[in-house]
């Protein structure tokens, strides 16, 4: 058998770069994109771009637009609400399980504490991409501490959509602080081993984020 290349596959790299551009709004909703343009901007051939675009199309991040072209999909307020309903249930479960395991999982506990500490360093100048990454790291640390791999497996395919929705609300300076205040409360309950309080706080956090995102998207639709 031919040895595998340890470096990331080029298609994966192109996919990740385009996905990040959609999430941080370098590529705006409704913007038309072509294989030639993306290949030129990324300095690669059209083949990996074509494969990456079809992966993004399968996930609903881009849609076909005209001959051999694509456009970035709009965020659907109803779809985001539905995703947050599911995420709220998963986050609540993860927080409850994490609180029950916090004394047994020293490495996972340290990861949660590190994610929380990193979030405390944000301010008004923190780039949006960094805010999103910190938010994902925090919730991922809870999923890991929960000790149930199925939680991460179920939410992983939805992370690109969730990260797009995070960008909608984290762009608001006021919510940056309140989001991490809510994170602090969730983590405090988990680290104290208070499963019921951790579950309630995680569910409330997801519901608040979902409601704010849906409202923001509907306001944008009306303004447009």
* Residue of 107 and 201 predicted with greater confidence: 201
pLDDT over threshold 70, residue 188? yes
Task: Determine the distance from the C-alpha atom of residue 66 to the mean position of all C-alpha atoms in its chain, rounded to a whole number.
Answer: 29
pLDDT at 126: 87
* DSSP H or E run through 9: none
% of residues, the chain, pLDDT over 90: 65
- Band of residue 18 on the pLDDT scale cut at 50, 70, 90: very high
Its pTM stands at 0.86
The third-level CATH classification (topology) of the domain covering 77-223 is 1.20.120
Query: In this predicted model, what pLDDT tens digit does every residue of 39-55 receive, in sequence order?
Result: 999 999 899 999 999 99
CA distance 99 to 188: 10
Closest by CA position to 74, among listed 88, 89, 59, 61: 61
Backbone angles phi, psi at 30, to 5 degrees: 90, -10
pLDDT at 2: 58
Query: In this predicted model, what pLDDT tens digit does every residue of 80-110 receive, in sequence order?
Result: 999 999 999 999 999 999 999 998 878 889 9
Largest CA distance in the chain: 58
Take residue 169 and report the two structure tokens written for it. Answer: 């609300």
pLDDT at 3: 58
pLDDT at 73: 94
Core vs surface per residue 120-146: b (16+ CB within 10 A) or e? eebeeeeeebebbebbebbbbbbbbbb
Mean pLDDT (the chain, rounded): 89
CA distance 96 to 110: 17
pLDDT at 24: 85
What is the CB neighbour count within 10 angstroms for residue 61? Answer: 21
**112-126, 138-152, 206-220: which has the minimum mean pLDDT?**
206-220
Per-residue pLDDT, averaged over 53-69, amounts to 90
pLDDT over threshold 60, residue 173? no
Query: In this predicted model, what pLDDT tens digit does every residue of 120-167 receive, in sequence order?
Result: 998 888 888 899 999 999 999 999 999 999 999 999 999 999 999 888
Segments making up each domain of the chain, as ranges: 10-72, 77-223
- Band of residue 212 on the pLDDT scale cut at 50, 70, 90: confident
pLDDT at 221: 60
CATH architecture, domain 10-72: Orthogonal Bundle (1.10)
């Amino acid at each position: 058998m031919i040895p595998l290349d340890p470096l990331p596959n080029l298609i994966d790299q192109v996919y990740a770069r385009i996905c990040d551009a959609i999430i941080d709004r370098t590529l705006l909703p409704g913007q038309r994109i072509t294989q030639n343009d993306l290949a030129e901007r990324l300095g690669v051939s059209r083949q990996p771009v074509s494969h990456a675009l079809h992966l993004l199309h399968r996930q609903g991040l881009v849609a076909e637009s005209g001959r051999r072209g694509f456009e970035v999909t709009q965020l659907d307020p109803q779809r985001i609400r539905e995703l947050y309903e599911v995420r709220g249930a998963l986050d609540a479960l993860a927080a409850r399980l994490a609180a029950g395991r916090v004394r047994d999982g020293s490495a996972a506990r340290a990861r949660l504490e590190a994610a929380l500490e990193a979030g405390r360093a944000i301010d008004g100048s923190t780039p949006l991409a960094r805010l999103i990454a910190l938010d994902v790291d925090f919730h991922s640390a809870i999923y890991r501490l929960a000790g149930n791999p199925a939680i991460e497996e179920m939410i992983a395919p939805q992370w690109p959509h969730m990260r797009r929705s995070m960008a909608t609300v984290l762009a608001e300076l006021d919510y940056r602080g309140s989001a991490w205040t809510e994170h602090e409360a969730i983590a405090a309950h988990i680290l104290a081993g208070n499963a019921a309080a951790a579950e309630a706080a995680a569910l409330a956090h997801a519901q608040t984020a979902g409601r704010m995102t849906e409202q923001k998207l509907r306001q944008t639709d009306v303004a447009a």
